[in-house]
Structure formats: structure tokens, C-alpha cells
Amino acid sequence: MREYRIAVRKVDRQRLGLAGRIEDVLKNLQRWEADRLQAVKTVLLQFHGTLSNLPRALEAPIERSASHIAAYLPDSDLSALIERYRTGPFRPQSQVYESVAHDESDVFFGINLRRWSEADGARYMAKLRTSLWFLRF
């Protein structure tokens, strides 16, 4: 039983460490994407500056492109991308299992059946027994 608890703690630490590393990678990716979007805007502004030196025949298209470039906001675009593709909040945390047979509270899985059964004893135990009976089939 002691080896099992040690293994569960080790796996749980690894899971939480992996979640932390994933969060760090996603923060780096977000920063890189913000830098990329800012670079795109810089290139568009430089291109627009080059086009503005052309003859007056291109004045109307240049003005339209100026309004499009002004509407391009990298920070809000990045926020829109994050909102569009997000999967929801995820905050990893350990689930503590309290053994019915022992008073050890350092095992990380399951629910507290003892408290659950003490709350409304016989009724919940009957439901549990019935559920387990149906699982046999």
C-alpha cells in the first residue's frame, strides 16, 4: 500500500508538472504570435508608404488600403483568436481520496464514500448497492 501511495504521488506530480510546462509553452506561443502580428502590420505600413509615392492614379486604392491597415489591430486580433479557439478553463488539482478502512488522506483519487454515506446513510448505500448490482450485467 505504501508503494502504491508513493507511485500515485509521483504520477500526480508528473501530471501537474506537465500541465505547468504546457502552460509555459502556450504563453511563449502567444508572445510569438503577438510579435508575428505586429511584424505583419509593420510590413503593411511600409508597403503602404512605398505605394504612396506612386502617381495620383492610384490615390483611391491607396486611401482604401490605408483604412484597412488602420483597422488592423494585432492585439485585438490575437485576443479574438484566443477567444475563438479556447477550450475552457482548466486548473489541474489533485483529488483527495479518503479511505473508508483507514484514516489515511494522502491517496489522490476517488471520492469520500464515508462522508457521502454518513450524510444520508442507508438511502445512498442502497443506491450504491443497486448500481453495483446492475454493473454485473
Going residue by residue through the chain, which has 137 residues, state the pLDDT in tens, using 9 for 90 and above.
778 888 888 888 898 889 899 999 999 999 998 899 899 999 988 888 887 777 776 777 878 888 888 888 888 888 887 777 776 666 666 655 555 555 555 444 555 556 656 666 667 677 777 887 877 75
Angle between helices 74-85 and 2-51 (to 10 degrees): 140
